[in-house]
């Protein structure tokens, strides 16, 4: 982490734009908890309800369940503004419809910082990233520009949403440039928030949910910082 630059602190509003319930909870939530404790405001917008995410459970059942799990996860870090865009889980299409939805949310929340998950082809060395993460991450980077251009989606202006310039986009990518320090208390909030995705985690492993959550969050934030690739 010593080679990474300090994450900017001179901002007030952040918007997390990700594909699935639980995407913010794998470490990013520790930074969110840190920022909210410092008096900043953070909103979450999820492209899907993660309805295709639990083996053996039909989307009609898992969508509503995961919606509740996500709201409970948000409560641990102090996020109360949670919106779902209802794109189809596993089949999110990168393109103008997604960019318009994301640009609309950027203009509604008017963040200084937009955060998203890894948009690159690889999740990490030797691991292919998911189609939804690639689509949403890339569309987020595009939508930040769309939100600041009145001509790309003029219907947004007609709906009463004027253009908005975001200062930074922070991506949880394998090529980080900046680090946000996080306290032990913020890491514990992140563990509690990930553990709320209980049914999802139970489907992944027989290990107790809290132990799974602690191991996952420690992997990302255990050094006392969460790393992001920052685009300005």
Q: Which of 130, 136, 86, 96 is nearest to 116 (CA)?
A: 136
CB nearer Zn ion, residue 20 or residue 104: 20
- How would you write 139-162 as a 3-class SS string? HHHHHHHHHCCCCCCHHHHHCCCC
The two three-digit tokens of residue 151, written as one number: 């001509």
CB nearer Zn ion, residue 19 or residue 113: 19
Which residue's Cβ has the minimum distance to Zn ion? 20
CB nearer Zn ion, residue 137 or residue 176: 137
Minimum distance of Zn ion from residue 132's CB (angstroms): 6
Minimum distance of Zn ion from residue 183's CB (angstroms): 26
Stretch of residues binding Zn ion (CB under 5 A), selected from 23-31, 63-71, 190-198, 204-212: 23-31
Q: Which of 117, 112, 143, 116 is nearest to 130 (CA)?
A: 117
Q: Decide: is 87 part of the binding site for Zn ion (CB under 5 A).
A: no
Minimum distance of Zn ion from residue 93's CB (angstroms): 16
The two three-digit tokens of residue 128, written as one number: 């292919």
Q: What is the CA radius of gyration of the chain?
A: 17
Minimum distance of Zn ion from residue 140's CB (angstroms): 13
CB 89 within 8 A of CB 144: no
CB nearer Zn ion, residue 25 or residue 146: 25
- Tell me the number of residues near Zn ion by CB under 5 A: 3
Minimum distance of Zn ion from residue 2's CB (angstroms): 29
Within 10 angstroms of residue 159's Cβ, the number of other Cβ atoms is 11
Binding test (CB under 5 A) with Zn ion, winner from 15, 20, 65, 74: 20
CB 76 within 8 A of CB 44: no
CB nearer Zn ion, residue 36 or residue 117: 117
Q: Decide: is 23 part of the binding site for Zn ion (CB under 5 A).
A: yes
Minimum distance of Zn ion from residue 79's CB (angstroms): 17
CB nearer Zn ion, residue 172 or residue 179: 172
Kindly compute the dihedral angle of the four CA atoms of residues 118, 119, 121, 126, in this order, to the nearest 10 degrees.
Answer: 0
The two three-digit tokens of residue 213, written as one number: 């959550």
Burial class (CB in 10 A: 0-12, 13-18, 19+), 123: middle
Binding stretches for Zn ion (CB under 5 A): 19-20, 23
């Amino acid at each position: 982490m010593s080679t990474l630059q300090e994450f900017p602190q001179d901002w007030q509003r952040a918007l997390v734009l990700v594909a699935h319930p639980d995407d913010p909870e794998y470490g990013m939530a520790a930074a969110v908890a840190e920022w909210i404790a410092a008096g900043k405001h953070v909103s979450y917008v999820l492209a899907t309800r993660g309805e295709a995410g639990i083996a053996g459970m039909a989307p009609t059942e898992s969508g509503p369940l995961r919606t509740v799990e996500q709201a409970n996860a948000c409560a641990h870090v102090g996020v109360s503004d949670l919106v779902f865009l209802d794109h189809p889980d596993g089949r999110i299409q990168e393109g103008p419809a997604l960019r318009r939805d994301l640009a609309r949310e950027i203009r509604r929340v008017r963040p200084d910082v937009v955060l998203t998950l890894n948009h690159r082809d690889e999740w990490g060395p030797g691991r292919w990233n998911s189609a939804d993460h690639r689509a949403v991450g890339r569309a987020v980077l595009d939508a930040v520009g769309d939100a600041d251009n009145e001509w790309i989606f003029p219907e947004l202006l007609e709906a009463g949403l004027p253009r908005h310039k975001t200062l930074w986009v922070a991506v949880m990518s394998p090529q980080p440039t900046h680090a946000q320090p996080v306290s032990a208390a913020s890491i514990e909030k992140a563990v509690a928030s990930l553990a709320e995705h209980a049914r999802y985690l139970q489907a992944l492993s027989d290990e107790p949910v809290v132990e799974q959550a602690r191991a996952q969050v420690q992997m990302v934030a255990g050094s006392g910082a969460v790393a992001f690739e920052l685009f300005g």
